[in-house]
Structure 1
Amino acid sequence: MIDMRGVLCTLLAGSSMVGLCAPAWAQAANAAPEASAEQPADIIVTGSRTIANGNNSPTPVTVVTTDSLQNVRPASLTDSLQVLPVFSGSRGLSSNPSATGTTGGGNGTAAQLNLRNIGAQRNLVLMDGRRVPPTSFTNIVDADVIPQMLIKRVDLVTGGVSAVYGSDAVSGVVNFITDTGFNGLKAQAQAGISSRSDDATHEIGLAWGTRIGESSHFEISYEFRDDAGISRRSDREWFNRTVIAGNGTTVPYFAIPYATLPSQPFGGRITCGATCAINGQYFASNGVLSPLVTGTTYAGTTTQSGGPGGYYDTALKAALNMHQVFARFDTDLSDNIHAFALVGANFKRNRFAAEDVLLSSVTLSRSNVLLSPTYAAQMPSATFTLGEMFNQNARLDVIADSRQITASAGLTGKFGGASWSLDYTHGDARLTTVVGNNLNNQKLSAALDAVAGPNGPVCYAATQAATAAAYANCVPLNLFGPSAASAAATDYIFDDTRSVSSTRQDDVNASISGSPFDTWAGPVAMALSGEYRSQSFDQTSDGTPSMVADCTNLRWNCTTASATTAATPLLVNTFAPSPKISMNVWEAAIEATVPLLKDVPFAANLDVTGAARYTKYNTVGGYATWKGGFNWAINDDLRFRGTISRDIRAPTLYDLFGPTTVSYNNYTDTKTNTSAFLPQFNQSNSGLTAEIGHTKTIGAVYKPHFVPGLSFAVDYYDINITNAIVTLQGTAAQIQSGCNNAGVQLYCDLIVRNSSGVVVNYIQKPINLARIRTSGVDFEVNYQGQLFGRPLSLRGLAAYQPHIRYIQPSVPTIDQGGVAFGSNGITASPSWRLTGTLSYKLTDAIRIDLMERWRNRLAISGDPTVTFAPDSGTIRPYAQTSVNVSVSVAPHYEFFFNVQNLFDAAPPAANLTGTAGTPGQRNGFASTDDVVGRYFVAGVKIKM
């Protein structure tokens, strides 16, 4: 007989690189474990590697079953999760679609789960306790890769657990638990449509599992999901293009509803000088000028409410088409050794329409053959300028194709009284982003210069011997009217560009755990863990920031680089290529749970836990993390718990070594209070180091014995992140204030001006500059019982997070708690978020599920130094109700009908500051609110 205590003590004393953990069952204060007698216990998050029961976890744990989520919200699992209060900062299909920025990571509509609203990059996503490989260069997991049909529940740890689960687990862990013992067949199909007859969805899912002999098991699943999305924000009557104008100081911020840009109407507006008779007129119809009758004007801004001005009309919700397959096999190799292997693949396409083309002040010749000679004769100068929101099938069309493949294999077993595990996971994610209708500035310049040819209008550059061949296909572009441009001209000025990014990760884990000795209160549990992972990224692109327009024989709207001017970029939207960049990480950890008291007055049991981990990056060096906690059960009814931890989050490869990209928009220079369409250069920073997080939690769980099935949990948390990596944007009002008012050179370097003091471009880059501080309280109440003799289930979840402070030198501290909008990748969050569910079986066959969600009134901005005009600084509270009715037919079939947002609650229209120049482009609503409206879903579930 092997003395396991001696073996483990020897390992603990002499090894620093052994394994992760023994499998352990977890449950929250309200949930019972769902063990399978056919399989070894799954690795489930308890907030501890050594504790065998989540009820005794010192770290707050919330458990939600897949069925309970989808009974009230029959959508994708990741979409359903976002009804939980802890996920209010997450991204999805309606999260202001974008592609080229670092927030989008090539696909701004990916399912990004964000615990505590301090960034999706600061929580870990696991499946069965193993790290899910990242799916974009931002190192964030698109959680749609998870095989929904075979996930039985999701365990949430909402506290710092880097010492237990590895780096990046600053705000917690989301662990998807697979039903590894599933036997039989289940299928589901559903379809949905909004009350406005749009956003149609279709979903099909199949899963099959079976035992093979006495010791093996196999399961497989397939899912198809299609969501048509909502292609225009104007498809919702509540969306009124509200923007916020002013500067917040001398001119308090104020809201402009139904905002338009009178200088860029859809038909084009002429500027030809004060002595020009047609100056300021616009083409209300093709070829015909009309006086521009202004809408409601406001002091200090050219943006108006109403009137014939132009505006954007981007997608409200991105479209999705997804195929997903997953298969898992496991077997007993012996009485003490169990093996498994799995593979999953996700093929997903998101598509969304972004901005139309904003032409601010393009230069045209009065001799342009497409212009009426009557108007040309009234112009005193040889050239004039024209501003136009060009929207003739011109919206940016972004297609993000994801191919995500994950494979994993491993062994688990027992050795004496200890448990051990060894596993390997490989992830390969390829994201292909196709940007359609990508404006080619060189072609635009050529197409705007129309002259008479032998057979009609031609491009001037096509008439010049040196460039005739290059512009043989040039089609003159007619901007003189809302629909004056020909389809051929529109096709000519736009290109389709493609970038392909590949992210790969290999992860090896090993573990051993057991009890080397006992104390007077029970056995001591200990675990040793070791992990090695490598990650790489590379990207190709056929539309890069370095590509500039060739201005040869292009007379206007094209600039060759000089000592004082930058060259005209070839394309408006670009992705930079990147050679293969990589990093590797070594981690080693130890954890112990020590019982101190048991069955004594005021202590049915008292355990303390401790964990320590050392993490070594080849990019940013080595870091130590640790965690301590206690679990104190006064009696069977009342338990207290608490933790304190030091955690880290390392910069991503893209943060460190990513190539420079360029994006264009209409930005406001707060120093001169003027707006211009300018480039922003998005840079990486190889000098970054890891963030350091310090987290404290304290809480209690109460389960009164005199009310069976009732439980309460309350937990306070405090998270303080130093050396925090924040993305500084020269376009941000806060950064501009730090430069203009405080003279901080670091901020001024992000605003590039020419010798005349005019901004020529802005810079965005990540910097270890900030401190992030947040605290709050989570509440949970559960009841499982009966009403009139029928099963009743009630659950209430509430999150109170009054402050999310971003503290930076020489600028005001931004507090995003209770705020609707954020910029620079800083998420905002309601300070109160509530979700309540009720499930009641009216009969053995009929069940009703209800869900209510609510958030509090929100401030527009988290900047305490700015002022707002009356009725402009807040948006009202918001609530929505959903109902589901399911009918079981025979033992295997369940039909359901679901209505989301039963009362069609419309989100209050609002926007963030600095949006006066971009009406209808982004935002317009708080991210936690429902933008679709009343939505109907009907479907069937089959289990055999």
Structure 2
Amino acid sequence: MNTHKQNVGTWRIMRSRKVLCACPSCLWEDKMRKLQAIFLAGTGLVSGLFVAGQASAQEATPSAQDIIVTGSRVVKNGDNSPTPVTVVTTENLVNLRPTSLTESINTLPVFSGSRGQLSNPGVSGGVSGGNGSAAQLNLRNLGGVRNLVLLDGRRVPPTSYTNIVDADVIPQLLVKRVDTVTGGVSAVYGSDAVSGVVNFVTDTKFEGLKVQAQMGVSTYGDNPSQQAALAWGTKFAEGRGHFEVSYEYRNDDGILRRSQRSWYNRAVVVGNGTTIPYSLITNGTLAAQPFGGKIISCGTGCALAGQYFASNGVLSPFVNGTTYSGTTTQSGGAGGYLDMSLKAAQRSHQIYARTDYDFNDNIHGFFTLSGNFKRNLSYGGDLSLANYTLSTANAFLPAAYAAQMPGSTFVLSEINTQIERARYEPKTRQLMAIAGLEGKLGNYNWNLSYVYGDSRLSTTSSNQVNNQKLSAALDAVSTASGPACYAATQAATASAYAGCTPLNLFGPSAASAAALNYIMDTTTYVATTRQHDFNASISGSPFSTWAGEVTAALSGEWRYQSFISQSTATPSMYADCTNLRYNCVATGARTLLYANTLASNPHVSQSVMELAGEVNVPLLKDAPLVKSLGLNAAARYTKYNTVGTYWTWKLGADWHIVDGLRFRGTISRDIRAPTLNDLFAATSVTMVTNQDLKTGATNLLPSVNVSNPNLTAEIGRTLTAGLVMKPAFLPGFSLAVDYYDIKVSNAITTVQGFQPTIQQGCNSGGLAVYCGLIQRDSSGAVTAWYVQPINLSKVTTYGLDVEANYNGSIGSHKLALRGLAAYQPHIRYIQPGVAVIDQGGVAFGTNGLTASPSWRLTATASFNVNDNLRVDTIYRWRNALKLWGDPTVAWAAGQGKVAPFGQLGVNLSQTVNLSSGRKVEMFLNIQNLLNAKPPVANAPGTATSPGGFGGFVVTDDPVGRYFTLGLRAKL
């Protein structure tokens, strides 16, 4: 039996496509060598080294001999990995930030631009993908679709049609560490790994019972949260089998109004960036849309124009705030505004089960089932009505006012807050099953596996205005039985509008509940994404040289992905204007039935076949200035049935000069294929308000999202070079520095016709690729903007990742310090005929790009007060940012920047030792201990929606001081 266990420990190495170097006889021989191995094994994210074992109450991080390298199939431990890989234990993450695992790892500086509960509310559009609050990991802000998410080294199936992975599917309680590879590794892990991979490694040998419970609340008494989780694992069949299961419940009520934070003062940007420089103003209001309704125009000489219904049925002079040239958006005054969600609510149930069995000494089988059932909730804006035409004979308009209007119609605008705001409720059901066999054949290790993913996204949009019903309800006429809808009084349409209730807009609370309910619909969108993924690999050492073993791996993969969706609010649905006299256009730029739509998509699919090889060759050993020198190379052949055939490759070297100094470097060619959404998405429409730079007009127009079946794959070129130091004269200290340079050519960019740079490229440069995205009528007026993915851009970025670690003690008290820094000064988007957009050091961007601080710092400290009491702290900081990355726009003096921001967190942990080695840990965690308030900030284009988009930099903390109290027990 002992021999059997030893053999199993030797070959149980293919579970994450990696090789395990086991040396149990020497694991504890030399403490300093162990620390060095740990440091070197964790090289990556910020170049390098991860030191764990930070406190006696924590489980020690495995030594390098135990760490399975994520960045390679053949490198046996992190000491020899040329690719930067950071290893961080789950325990360390939750000690510092006991939220979801995906939120915790975003504290690492290499992550930038990730999306989640703090993203702007919404469900439509390519960025949201049906759920704007999905947990989308993003390395270096190059896009969540340019990095892979893995579970035990296997590709996690996508969640939505945008091909992103909602990483909350990962079973947090049984994840023992997270490996982040920050170089291009498409040759090793397949297409899409342009910026790297994030690998969640589970504890496949967990035994016993683990219980966790916690609750939290903000310092303002809102955003309550609760979590409860348990995991159980055991051996069976005399140790040949193992079974583990976990369940996690998480509930977060979110912050459903931005006004719940006093610092949030509706900051928006006014101006046009050219003749009127951009300015950031606060307390933004819409002078043209006050609560209660404003008469915009009512005919020549009408004295009522500009007055508003401050109270029901009574007009009052409008009280202006501070005005700005070129816009009706003001600071202060009687204008209206929005109040969208600040943080989406979330509730999830996560289940996970895994069993494995040793059939004999050389064959091992396993089966994993994971499921995530999650519901998000966020609110958009109130009912916004801009420039609606009403009859002067409207049944609700006081006769005295009607008599003063010379024409038959007048124009009114308002924001109505009587009904619940637009409500978005995406529900995600993610199922993932993994089955596999692995074993040993002579000196080689083999692996066969199958991954099945089935993700269903059901999005419910409530309180969505039905424009046909709205048009009918606004045309209120007087009848013997009281006000009625005009269309209901006409024989041809009386039946269709029998339920129509006329809508009174003349006052802040003038509308009846029945009328508001009549014009509002609930729409649904259901999308299903499935993926089948078959993998096979074999690795081992065919021979040895004077410098050591040559290791090699061969692998093959076949994937099939499909997508289908159904929507009850599609962009092809138009209002029927029969007997609707106003606010309904039947020809030309027809009136959409709904402002926000998601298209139904027929069944579309894509298959890909990949073949790959990797080799690690030791070149020198124990030579002058060469403790060891190794070369790592990989190549992959990829064939898509949609976009053709591609080769990717990687070449890396690892040079140990002496025991405490090593250099490493890689170059690689990587690809990202267009998604099914990029290629085949059905047309969808969202209404947007933007300025036409050619005519100066600003109107609410359809933004039409279309796919592009002619796309090809992106090509990435990545260079990394770094050093790792652990000086002998300073025991416990280590330093790692890595440089990277990434260039993505033929980059797939979603080009938006309404963006100023695109308009200028058409207006000034006459480029057809841009002019085709702007639809104009015979008079030259824009009738629609188009949004389309195009192989148009080149994306370039470079930077440094730095990490310093110290593990020591003060007297008998253990102390661990860690500093991580990411310097990324530029992320350039280079497109023909327009100015280069640089998102490095910028707060806001187009196409859903979020903040990319050029300096991102995270510092942690852990101190053992005694054997059972530990204090952990974390401090995060970003530098000052530019608000916008377009160099051609002008900002007013002193404008265009946002101040730096930092926040401090602390965790107090008390361990109670029970009998038989069992422990209970109680903790109090305080995030944003000093209650730092984020600087207010926003982007151009936000003047039309104060209280809506933005208001703060996404990397900052808008929640404020947050208390979490909980316990963890291992029984």
TM over 0.5: yes
| Stretch of structure 1 that moved more, 326-335 or 44-53 | 44-53
* 8 Å contact from structure 1 (residues 46, 54) kept in 2: no
Secondary structure at 1:903's aligned position in 2?
Answer: coil
Tell me by how many angstroms 1:841 deviates: 0.9
**Matching residue within 820, 825, 830 for 2:848:** 825
Task: Summarize the alignment of residues 166-245 of structure 1 with structure 2, pairs less than 5 Å apart.
Answer: 166-212=190-236, 213-245=238-270
Secondary structure at 2:319's aligned position in 1?
Answer: coil
CA distance in 1, matches of 2:42, 2:106: 21
Tell me by how many angstroms 1:943 deviates: 0.8
1:350 matched to 2:376: yes
What are the Cα deviations for residues 407-452 of structure 1, in whole angstroms up to 9, with x where unaligned? 0010110110111101000000000001101110000000001112
Tell me by how many angstroms 1:646 deviates: 0.2
CA distance in 2, matches of 1:621, 1:328: 37
- Consecutive unaligned residues of structure 1, counting only runs of 5 or more, are 1-17
**Matching residue within 857, 876, 894 for 1:871:** 894
Secondary structure at 1:909's aligned position in 2?
Answer: coil
Aligned to 2:189: 165
**Matching residue within 396, 417, 422 for 1:396:** 422
Aligned to 1:6: none
Aligned to 1:414: 440
1:789 matched to 2:812: yes
* 8 Å contact from structure 2 (residues 15, 438) kept in 1: no
Q: Give the letter aligned to residue 735 of structure 2.
A: F
Secondary structure at 2:911's aligned position in 1?
Answer: strand
Task: Summarize the alignment of residues 20-419 of structure 1 with structure 2, pairs less than 5 Å apart.
Answer: 21-24=17-20, 27-28=42-43, 29-31=48-50, 44-212=68-236, 213-270=238-295, 271-419=297-445
Tell me by how many angstroms 1:621 deviates: 0.4
Q: Give the letter aligned to residue 117 of structure 1.
A: N
**Matching residue within 570, 581, 591 for 2:604:** 581
What are the Cα deviations for residues 502-552 of structure 1, in whole angstroms up to 9, with x where unaligned? 000000110111111112211111000100010000001111111111111
Secondary structure at 2:542's aligned position in 1?
Answer: coil
Q: Give the letter aligned to residue 290 of structure 2.
A: P
What are the Cα deviations for residues 864-916 of structure 1, in whole angstroms up to 9, with x where unaligned? 22221122110000000011111112342111111110111111111111222
Aligned to 1:911: 938
* 8 Å contact from structure 2 (residues 61, 89) kept in 1: no
* 8 Å contact from structure 1 (residues 23, 43) kept in 2: no
Aligned to 1:14: none
CA distance in 2, matches of 1:462, 1:54: 75
1:921 matched to 2:948: yes
Tell me by how many angstroms 1:671 deviates: 2.5
CA distance in 2, matches of 1:865, 1:342: 53
| Percent pairwise identity | 59
Secondary structure at 2:472's aligned position in 1?
Answer: helix
1:658 matched to 2:681: yes
* Paired positions, count: 922
Q: Give the letter aligned to residue 476 of structure 1.
A: P
What are the Cα deviations for residues 444-464 of structure 1, in whole angstroms up to 9, with x where unaligned? 000001112332211111111
| Stretch of structure 1 that moved more, 881-890 or 615-624 | 881-890
Q: Give the letter aligned to residue 256 of structure 1.
A: I
1:613 matched to 2:636: yes
* 8 Å contact from structure 2 (residues 389, 410) kept in 1: yes
Secondary structure at 1:169's aligned position in 2?
Answer: coil
1:773 matched to 2:796: yes
CA distance in 2, matches of 1:455, 1:934: 57
* 8 Å contact from structure 2 (residues 16, 152) kept in 1: no
CA distance in 2, matches of 1:225, 1:22: 32
Tell me by how many angstroms 1:36 deviates: 12
What are the Cα deviations for residues 47-95 of structure 1, in whole angstroms up to 9, with x where unaligned? 2211010121001111111111111111000011111111121001001
**TM-score (norm. length: structure 1):** 0.96
Tell me by how many angstroms 1:23 deviates: 3.2
CA distance in 2, matches of 1:37, 1:140: 30
CA distance in 1, matches of 2:389, 2:921: 65
CA distance in 2, matches of 1:740, 1:27: 51
Aligned to 1:727: 750
Aligned to 1:756: 779
Aligned to 1:674: 697
CA distance in 1, matches of 2:68, 2:632: 17
CA distance in 1, matches of 2:556, 2:459: 36
| Stretch of structure 1 that moved more, 579-588 or 915-924 | 915-924
Tell me by how many angstroms 1:247 deviates: 2.1
Q: Give the letter aligned to residue 241 of structure 2.
A: S
Aligned to 1:429: 455
* 8 Å contact from structure 2 (residues 113, 849) kept in 1: no
CA distance in 2, matches of 1:598, 1:804: 40
What are the Cα deviations for residues 820-879 of structure 1, in whole angstroms up to 9, with x where unaligned? 001123444000000001111101111111000000000011112222112211000000
* 8 Å contact from structure 1 (residues 44, 128) kept in 2: no
Aligned to 1:10: none
Aligned to 1:554: 580
* 8 Å contact from structure 1 (residues 612, 627) kept in 2: yes
CA distance in 1, matches of 2:444, 2:42: 22
CA distance in 1, matches of 2:277, 2:627: 60
**Matching residue within 945, 957, 964 for 1:930:** 957
CA distance in 1, matches of 2:389, 2:380: 25
Q: Give the letter aligned to residue 86 of structure 2.
A: T
* 8 Å contact from structure 1 (residues 394, 490) kept in 2: no
* 8 Å contact from structure 1 (residues 813, 864) kept in 2: yes
Secondary structure at 1:85's aligned position in 2?
Answer: coil
Tell me by how many angstroms 1:19 deviates: 12
- Label 1:737 to 1:410 Cα distance change in 2 as closer, same or farther (>3 A): same
Secondary structure at 1:117's aligned position in 2?
Answer: coil
Secondary structure at 1:461's aligned position in 2?
Answer: helix
Q: Give the letter aligned to residue 924 of structure 1.
A: G
Aligned to 2:27: none
* 8 Å contact from structure 1 (residues 357, 391) kept in 2: yes
**TM-score (norm. length: structure 2):** 0.93
Aligned to 1:541: 567
Aligned to 1:8: none
- Consecutive unaligned residues of structure 2, counting only runs of 5 or more, are 1-13, 22-40, 54-58
1:710 matched to 2:733: yes
CA distance in 2, matches of 1:36, 1:238: 42
Aligned to 1:641: 664
CA distance in 1, matches of 2:67, 2:589: 56
CA distance in 1, matches of 2:209, 2:543: 45
* 8 Å contact from structure 2 (residues 934, 953) kept in 1: yes
CA distance in 2, matches of 1:909, 1:31: 35
* 8 Å contact from structure 1 (residues 19, 422) kept in 2: no
CA distance in 1, matches of 2:696, 2:910: 61
1:455 matched to 2:481: yes
Secondary structure at 1:446's aligned position in 2?
Answer: helix
CA distance in 2, matches of 1:104, 1:794: 38
Aligned to 1:631: 654
Aligned to 2:34: none
